[in-house]
Amino acid sequence: MIKIGIIVGSTRPGRKAETVAEWVRDLAVKRGDAEFELVDLRDFPLPHLDETLPAAFGQYEHPHTRAWSERIASLDGFVFVTPEYNSSTTGVLKNAIDFLYAEWADKAAGFVSYGVDGGARAAEHLRQMLGRVKVADVSAQVALSLYTDFEGFTDFKPAAHREEAVTTMLDQIVSWGTALRPLRAAA
Ligand SMILES: Cc1cc2nc3c(=O)[nH]c(=O)nc-3n(C[C@H](O)[C@H](O)[C@H](O)COP(=O)(O)O)c2cc1C
């Protein structure tokens, strides 16, 4: 079975990302067609990019980069859970993506975004940047509204139809993540 990492894309105190990621994980583990694990950026406290060589060289100086590299290399696909910050994803997630290169390649990814417009701009920016590191982004997306999926803009109460959207997105990640296996094996 392939292994999918659910990346918690905010490290802010009081973040919503953790609750949203746990909701995705709890739905995902019922499937049985892949393994699903949370990947919390708080557990990988990367500084602003401090590697001398570009990540494409794969020669990392720092233990924090090697730890992050091992974690991402161990996965076959991703669900990025991202809020929208100033019409994009979070700085901490962009920085974490920039630290690596080959570890992302030939893996499938989907997005669970949230914001006043469903975090759509955050997910679109992520799709652009992940294309650069050869991630295959699936079309299905879960776009949660701060107005209707968070009571009082705070308590996460997703609309019932969101579960179906998660299922569709995970179906696509699992099928592409599995289909891309030969490319990962050859790399
Ligand atoms: C720095 C910052 C910028 C934000 N910019 C946007 C924005 O452009 N669009 C939007 O819909 N929400 C924006 N928000 C609201 C966030 O989507 C909302 O606070 C969300 O809960 C943040 O996710 P988190 O709690 O997991 O960190 C912004 C929040 C912060 C902290």
* DSSP codes of every residue in 84-99: -BTTB--HHHHHHHHT
Pairing of strands 77-83, 35-40: unpaired
Q: Does residue 13 have a pLDDT over 90?
A: yes
For the CA of 14, the closest atom of ligand 1 is: 25
Look up residue 32 and give its two tokens: 């049985």
For 34-43, b/e burial (b = at least 16 CB within 10 A) is bebebbebee
Read off the pLDDT of residues 79-125 as tens digits, 9 standing for 90 and up: 999 999 999 999 999 999 999 999 999 999 999 999 999 999 999 99
Ligand 1 centroid distance, CA of 155 (Å)? 15
Please tell me if the CB atom of residue 15 comes closer than 6 angstroms to any atom of ligand 1.
yes
pLDDT, tens only, 76-85: 999 999 999 9
Higher pLDDT, 187 or 151: 151
Classify each residue of 99-108 as buried b or exposed e, where b means 16 or more C-beta atoms within 10 Å of its C-beta. bbbbbbebbb
Residue of the CA atom closest to atom 29 of ligand 1: 85
* Residue bearing tokens 């020669």: 59
Give the pTM.
Answer: 0.98
- What's the CA-to-centroid distance between 156 and ligand 1, angstroms? 15
CB-CB contact of 87 with 14 (8 Å) = no
Q: What confidence score (pLDDT) does residue 83 get?
A: 98
pLDDT for the residue 187: 87
